Amino acid sequence: MWEIITGLISGIISGTGMGGGTILILVLSIFLGVEQHTAQATNLVFFIPTSIAAIFISIKSKLINWKIGVTIAISGIIGAIIGANISYHLEVNKLKRYFGIFLAAITIHEIYSIIKEYKIAKKTNNNNEKKYNM
């Protein structure tokens, strides 16, 4: 049952383009006790059909910039080969640590972005209030 719930939530997040695989890896490794290498490899299998579904809908909605997409895809394939080889040769503890650092960096970036957007919105609202109160 947990596998189905995890797949649904990760699929929804992946479909929005926000990296559902990150959640999938966390759930597999922390809550389902799957070894880190296996969790990350399982995520790659999960990624293929969810990406195909999201790509199909994005093509139908005419949301893809093909020039950028193809360039990124080719670069991504090369990067994936390099990354898979690095991951394969890393000890589990190091892989977990690097994944944790990666998640922490994303978290810090997202918090910073939210605070920055909040400050800009607050400043814009204050300027609008001053403009209309004159």
| Long-range contacts, 118-127 (Cβ 8 Å, 24+) | none
Report d(CA 114, CA 108) in Å as an integer.
10
Q: Are 68 and 54 in contact (CB under 8 A)?
A: no
The answer to whether residue 132 sits within a structural domain is: yes
Indicate whether 11 pLDDT > 70: yes
How many domains are contained in the chain?
Answer: 2
Give the per-residue pLDDT at 126.
Answer: 75
Say if residue 53 is in the same domain as residue 102.
no
The residue range of the domain holding 40 is 1-65
Prediction pTM value = 0.64
Query: How do residues 63-79 score in pLDDT, each as one tens digit?
Result: 999 999 999 999 989 99
Indicate whether 132 pLDDT > 70: no
Say if residue 46 is in the same domain as residue 10.
yes
Query: How do residues 42-63 score in pLDDT, each as one tens digit?
Result: 988 888 888 888 889 999 999 9
